């Protein structure tokens, strides 16, 4: 769970296809495993100021394997087509 006022970064490695788009566009937040090429989050949460950049990274994920959850809200805020 993210600290109050922060954005929790969740990744679904089972859905990840290893495209690397997240790591390419947001290397401060995402990396790729050298073993299987799948996403590795560099941090568990981020400041609210990073939300827009994280939304872009989540939207670029072809597998929609990245979910962003504001600490005060439960539910998907990225990658669901609602933004």
- pLDDT, residue 83, reads 44
Q: Give every residue of the chain whose pLDDT is below 50, as ranges.
A: 74-83
Task: Kindly report the number of other CB atoms within 10 A of residue 45's CB atom.
Answer: 20
Contacts of 6 by beta carbon, 8 Å cutoff, 6+ apart:
45, 46, 47, 48, 70, 71
Q: What is the pTM of this model?
A: 0.78
- pLDDT, residue 45, reads 96
């Amino acid at each position: 769970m993210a600290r109050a006022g922060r954005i929790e970064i969740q990744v679904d490695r089972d859905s990840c296809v290893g495209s690397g788009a997240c790591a390419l566009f947001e290397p401060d937040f995402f990396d790729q495993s050298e073993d299987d090429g799948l996403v590795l989050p560099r941090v568990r949460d981020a400041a609210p100021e990073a939300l827009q950049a994280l939304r872009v990274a989540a939207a670029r994920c072809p597998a929609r394997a990245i979910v962003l959850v504001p600490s005060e809200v439960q539910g998907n805020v990225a990658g669901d087509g609602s933004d």
